[in-house]
Amino acid sequence: MKSWADFREHLRTRSPLAGAWSPLRFLGPGMLVAVGFIDPGNWASNVAAGSGFGYQLLWVVTLSTIMLILLQHNAAHLGIVTGLCLAESATAHLPRWISRPALASGVLAAVATAFAEILGGAIALGMLFHLPLKLGACLTALVVGGLLFLNSYGRIEKLIVGFVSLIGLGFLFELMLVHTHWSAALTGWVKPSLPLGSMLIVTSVLGAVVMPHNLFLHSEFIQSRKWNLQGDDAIRHHLRFEFFDTLVSMLVGWAINSAMILLAAATFFQHRVPVVSLEQAEAMLRPIVGPAAAVVFALALLCAGVASSITAGMAGGTIFAGFFGRTYDIHDGHTRAGLLVTLLPALAAVFFIADSFKALLLSQVLLSVQLPITILLQLTLTSSRKVMGSYANAGIEKFLLWTTAVVVIFLNLMLLKSLT
């Protein structure tokens, strides 16, 4: 097989279980998006949650993943039906005084995301090879830029799926080395609680999971398939199976985020060790769990930093190209400019930070501030019959989406209030 897409097609057409395997044709876009919420910013929030509050905040991952599934499927819905990504659709259907500021804030969110990802990669290189932070950031940005500028979309897709798999396997390995209180974990996943002093961490995890650049990116990945040109029957078919892709991918993200909290709870919280940096977490794993776990932790962080930097760069390129009504195309000058506008400021910002852990948390705050703008932009478009025709949001779907928007906005306001 030459590619992941070839493998899926083989299963669909030649396997005796072809009918059962047919949803595999639609796996890919959701997994590319999933890596965005297992990025270094999430690592910082999840390690803080587990080390500070044990298993009690696992419910935050559950709630945020449910909201994420609704929003990401809705973003993909836009791409399937219209053949336009969120940025293109905003440019085509909204007044410039609305679309321009909204998209500009989206680019800034992509820069903030790329900053966290490049910083995370640099931290991981420091753990593994004792490289200075700034040198590690330059190497991370160089690798990411090379992958984006020199590789096709298909290669990027396979690369990201591979990185997500490695991150998942890394945490599975580490969980096997610790004693997890599964009864407490099961309770934590479904029972909301707000321990004293936890509100900042709760809202940080929520803001880190539901990320604005992912909503732009998912609609771009989907519209690149041009399923809207295949007619209504094909659109309905793809909408159904795209939800399968989103559901599976977001559940993978839920599992990995949960694993981060479980690991921190079973090691640091159990030993009453507060954690205030990712480097400290890696160093403390060595005597508590063993040197192998510390190395796997650093390798998984490096994978997360590189993979999520790629998707952050693609998101920036997508949004910037959308300003001009263009789709993401690495051979197009608008996309290339968008990549540079995203990655170069993100890299430059690393040179001006004094505390990497606080910088990671601040990047999540910036994303939280922008997030309501992207959600309202998306729901305005997907609820419009002018844009979506008969596929516009309606009924229970519309209610759930706008309820999600209200909850996200409310929680982000709580986050801002907690910081004042």
Residue range 272-327, pLDDT digits in tens: 877 767 776 766 666 666 677 677 778 888 888 888 888 899 999 999 999 999 98
Question: Does the structure show a pLDDT above 80 at 156?
Answer: no
Q: Angle formed by the axes of helices 133-150 and 291-323, to 10°?
A: 50
For range 217-237, the mean pLDDT: 66
**174, two tokens:** 């580490």
For range 163-168, the mean pLDDT: 71
pLDDT of residue 147: 87
Cβ atoms within 10 Å of 94's Cβ, excluding its own: 18
pLDDT of residue 169: 76
pLDDT of residue 411: 77
**237, two tokens:** 């078919």
The CA distance from 267 to 200, in Å, is: 22
Mean of per-residue pLDDT scores for the chain: 82
Question: Does the structure show a pLDDT above 60 at 90?
Answer: yes
**Confidence class for position 182, pLDDT limits 50, 70, 90:** very high
**102, two tokens:** 């909204």
pLDDT of residue 37: 67
Q: Pseudo-torsion of CA 216, 399, 77, 114, nearest 10°?
A: 20
pLDDT of residue 335: 95
**Confidence class for position 168, pLDDT limits 50, 70, 90:** confident
pLDDT of residue 155: 65
For range 87-100, the mean pLDDT: 96
**Confidence class for position 152, pLDDT limits 50, 70, 90:** low
Under a CB-based contact definition with an 8 Å cutoff, are residues 209 and 68 in contact?
Answer: yes
Superfamily designation of domain 37-419: Amino acid/polyamine transporter I (1.20.1740.10)
**Confidence class for position 101, pLDDT limits 50, 70, 90:** very high
Provide the percentage of residues in the chain whose pLDDT is more than 90.
Answer: 37
Q: Which residue has the tokens 């679309």?
A: 99
pLDDT of residue 418: 66
**Confidence class for position 224, pLDDT limits 50, 70, 90:** low
Burial letters for 29-38: b for 16+ Cβ neighbours within 10 Å, e otherwise?
bbbbbbbbbb
pLDDT of residue 272: 82
Question: Does the structure show a pLDDT above 90 at 36?
Answer: no
Question: Does the structure show a pLDDT above 70 at 22?
Answer: no
Distance of CA 251 to the CA centre of its chain: 12
For the CA atoms of the chain, what is the radius of gyration? 20
pLDDT of residue 290: 66
For range 346-356, the mean pLDDT: 93
For range 71-87, the mean pLDDT: 90
The pLDDT tens digits for 359-402 are 887 787 788 788 899 999 999 999 999 999 999 999 999 999 99
pLDDT of residue 104: 96
pLDDT of residue 18: 40
